[in-house]
Structure 1
Amino acid sequence: MDRDIGLAVVDDDPLFLDYVSNLLALQGGMRVTCLESETALFDTLGTEPFDCILMDYDLGQNNGLSVAERVNAMLSDPPPIVMLTGGGSERTAVKAFRSGFSDYVSKRDLKVTELVGAVRGAVDRHEAAQGARARTEALQERLEFNATTGLYDQRFMLARLADFTAPGAARRFAVIVIDIRELATVRAELGYMAGQRLSNAFAAELRSQLSAGDIAGHLGEDGFVIIVDRPAALADVDTMVQRLRQALTRGFTLDRAQVHLAPQIGVALHPDAGTRGDGLIAAARPAPTGEAATVTAFSATPTAGDAETASPARAEAQSGQTPITQATERRKERRQRVLRQAKILINGRSTIIDCNVRDLTASGARLRVDSYFAVPAEFDLAIVGTGITRRVTTRWQIGRDIGVEFVEGAA
C-alpha cells in the first residue's frame, strides 16, 4: 500500500489504547484512531473507512467475535480484523479464525514487530483478495459480453432481470424485446455466416440508439432485449419504441443481396406487466405479423465489407431485381459438387495436411480437414491426381470446414 494504513484500535482499556497508539505511531505508516467501545466503532464506521481493525476480544458486554459479525454484516466490503486478547487460548484463536478474523495477537509479552506484522499482513491479504475478485468479475463480464456485437449475452440479461425483480424490489423499469424474423430467411438462403454478419450489423445500429443507463443484450438467436432503468423515460416509453422502430427498420447490403429488416418491437413495464423476468419478456415479446422477409439479389458485387446500409438511390436502381432464391440457384449451377483429395501446403512444403475438396468454383473452394487446426491466411493447395497447385487465401473457417479463394495470377 502506497499510503498510510487507516487503523481503528478498539479496546475498553484507555491505558492500553494510549500505549498501543503511541507504539504504532513510532513505527510510521499508520493513521491510528482509538475507540473505547463497540458503539464508538459503529458510529465511526458510518463516516470513516478503515483499512484494518485491531480489536480486543473482551469488550465488556460483548466479545470481539459478535462485534466482528456485526461489522461483516454492516459493510459490503468489510476491512480485515485482527484480534487482541489478554488471556487467549488455542480454542479462542480457532473461534476467531472461524469468525473471519484475519489474524490473532496476544497482549501477553506483546511485541511491536509482531503487532505491526499482523496488521500489515492482514491489509496485504485483503488487497490481494480484492484484486483477485476484481479480475474474476472482469473475466466473468467478458464471458458474458459479446465483443463482436458489443452487447451482453442472454445469460447476463436474464440474470440482471432476476436481480431487478428479486423479492422486495420495488423499482419501476421497462423491458423492450426486439425480434428480427428475417434472419432465419437469410440463414436459409445465404448461409449461417451471412446471417451472423447481418445480426452484427443490426446490433451496431441498435447500440447507436441506446441512451446512457440502458442495458442491451441478445435474446435467443434472432432477438434482442433492452432494460430501460431510467424513471424519466418510462412515462414516454411508447415514444421510445416508435423511435427505435423508425431507426431500425432499414435496408442492409449483404454479399449479393439487399435485405430489408422490419424488426418487431414490444414493451412491458415492471411491475404492471409482471414481477418475474420471464413473465416480462413474454409480455413484451411482439406477436407475429405474418410478414415475409424482404430479401432481393443484387446484380453487381457490393463494395468491401460484411454488411452496409443500402442507400435509397441504390434501392431504386435495383427495381428489377430477381428474388434471392433465383440468385442462389445461379450460384449453385456454377459450383461443382466434388469430393477430391487435396493437400494443404504450408511454408512451401514444410507442413503438409490432407484435406477433401467438397465444393469447387472458378474463384475458390470449400475444404474439409480430418481434425481442426487454425489455417494460415495464405497457403498452397495441391489437388491430388490433377497436377494442379493453386495459391489460396483463407476467407473463413468454421470448425473443420474452410473456405478459400484462389489468388489471381498465382499458379
Structure 2
Amino acid sequence: MTEEHLIRRILILDDDSDYRRLLLTHLKKLFPGTELVEYDPVANGVPGDAFDWAAYDVLLLDYYLCIHGVTGLDILQANRKNALFPATLMLTGAGTEEVAAKAIRAGVYDFIRKDRLDKNRLVSAIRLAHKKHRLHLETLREVTSQSKAFNKAIFYRSLELAGESADEKVLMLVQLDRANELQNELGLVLLTNILRHLSRMCLDLLDKAGTGPAITRLSDSATAIIMDQNGTLETLAGRARQLCEALAGNPYVYQDRVYPYTVSMGIVPLREITGTAEQIIALARADCDIAKGSPGNSYHIHATAYAGAIRTDSPPPQPEALTVPDTPAKPDISPAPPSVSMPTVPETSHPHPVVEASDKPTTRGQKPAAPDRRSADRKIEVTKDEAVLDERQLSPAALPIKKAFDENRIVQTFQPVISLVSGAEATDELFVVSLQLVTTSGAVQHADNILQAVDNDAFKKFVDRWMLREAIARVIKNEARKTIFLLRLSEASLADAYLFNWLRQHLASVRDKLTEHSITPLISADGFLHRKKQAEALMIYLKKTFGFGFALQANGPLEELHELTHKGLFDYLIVDHFKIPEMQAFVPVKAQKQDLLASLKAAGLRIVTDGIKDANELTEAIHRGVDYAMGPFVGDEITQIDESSNLESFEIT
C-alpha cells in the first residue's frame, strides 16, 4: 500500500483563498485518493476546543492568519499536548518565520516558504511528515498503554485500589541481597544497572505470562511490580520460582565482566488488602526478610506457607526454563508444596550443591575486578562521607522528604531546551533537570516545595549527589544519544571536599561513557560568588577529568555577569528573556566595544533564554542571536524523555 493511500484527509488552514485553491488543484492530482478540506480562519475564526483535529492526517498551516494576535505557531502551542493533532507542515510567505519554525521543529515536521514551493517538494514533505507522525503515534500508543508501569503516582494509587478491584492483583517486591556490600564494591552506578537488568527480566517474563505487569523502582536496591494473579496461589508460587531460575541463569554482564547477584521476593496477594501504599509495601518488605533466610534467589508469599529458593552456585538452568507459561493457570513447573516448618523448598529437577546457610554468597562465578581501585582507606573515607546525613539533625519538614528518597518516591523531571541555531550543536538534546515527589497517596509535590524543606548543607549535598547519580546512569545507558543534562548544584556542594572522591569512585569504571558536557551542573550566581575559590577548583577538575560542562544562572547586574564569566569556566548562561535586550545595550569596559551578549558569544558561551511564553518572544530571541530557549511555550516539564523504550522510562523513576 503506497503512502498516499494511507493519507485519508488533508486540512489546508490558510487565510489566502487564492492560495488554498492553488494547493487544492495540485493536491487533487498528487493525492487522488485523499479528501482535501479547506479552512478559512478569517471567516471561521481560530479552531476552538471542539474542533476535531483527529479527523485529519496532515495539516498545511499558514503562519500569518490575518487574525490579530494569533499566528500558526499559537495554534500549535494551544494543541501541543493533543496527541491526536495531525502531522503539520508550516507554510509562510517570507521573512523571519523560517527560523521560528526551525525553533519549534519538535512540533512541525517541515517548514516551507511559499515562494519556493514546487509540487515535488510538496509531495515529499507531506509523505515524510505523515510517515514520521504515524510512527510517533504508534510509539505513543505503546507507551500510553503501559504508562502506568512507569508513572509512580499512578503506581501508588493503583496499589491502594487493588484490593477493591474485581480482578485479583498481586504486589511483588524484588529486593537485591547484600545491596550495601555491592554498592561499596561496585559503586552506585553499577548497582543501579544491576537493578535495571533484573527489572527488565522480571517485566519481560511476567508480560509473556499475560499478567499485565506494572513496575516501578522503590529504592536503589528494590523494584515493585503490580500484576494480575491469573490463577491459584500454587500458580503464583510456580511463577515466582521461574523468575528465581531465570535470574539465577542470567547474571548482569558489563564490558565482558560478570556481576552475579541474588534477590529476595516478597509477594502479597492484594485481594481484600486495604491501607496506604506505604503500609502495603511494608508487608512485602517483611516477606522479603522471611525469604532472605534461604540461600540463593528466594521468595515468600504473604500469610501463606508458599516459599522457595533457587540456589545460584549450580550450573544455570537451560534456556527453556526462562519461558513463563502462556497459560498461567497451568505452569510448566509444578508449584512448591506448602510447608510451614521449612520455607525453602528444594527442587528435585535442579540439583543444588551445598551452600552455607549462614547467609547468601556475595559473589559467585567470576568475581568482578573493579578497575582503578582506590586504597581501602580512601574507600572508607568516601563511604563514611555518604553516610553523614543524620536524620536526627533534620527538621520536621525535611524528614518526609528524606523518607521519600529512601522509598524512591522522588523522580526526576526534564524541562526541554530547544536550539535556535543550525549546525552540529542543533542535534544535541538539552534538558534542565529538576525533581518532584510522589506521596504515598499518589499526589505530586514539585521542586519548589521540596527544596524549601531541604534546609541544611548535609541534606543539600545528599540531594545533589542523587541528582548527579541518576543523570550519569541515564547518560551511560543511552550513550548513543547526544543528550545534555543541566542539573542544579547547590552552594553546599561547591565547597564539598568529598565530592571529588565521590565522583572518582562512582565514575571509575564508566568514565569513557560520558560525552563532553553530557553532565552540566547548573550553578546560581550567588552560590558561585559565595564559594568562588572552591567552585573554580571544582569546575576545573571536573571539566578536565570527566568532561563536565557548567552553566551559570544569573539575572543580576550586567557588570557582575561579565566578571563571573570572563575566565571561561562556564559553557552555558541562563538568563530571563527580558534580560537579553539589556545585555545588547550594555558594553563592558573590557569588552573591546562589543556589547555584553556579543562578547559572551564570541568567548564561546552559549546563551539560553528562559521564560518564553509565546511565539513573539521566541521570534525575538531568535532575532537577538540567542542560542537556546526554554519556557512554557517551548514545553512543560516531563518525567519521561524516551518514548521509544518502556525500560528507559523505568530507568528515570
Greater radius of gyration (CA): 1
Using CA pairs under 8 Å that are at least 6 residues apart, name the structure with larger relative contact order, 1 or 2.
Answer: 2
Specify if TM > 0.5: no
* Structure (1/2) with the larger helix percentage: 2
TM-score normalised to the size of structure 2?
Answer: 0.30
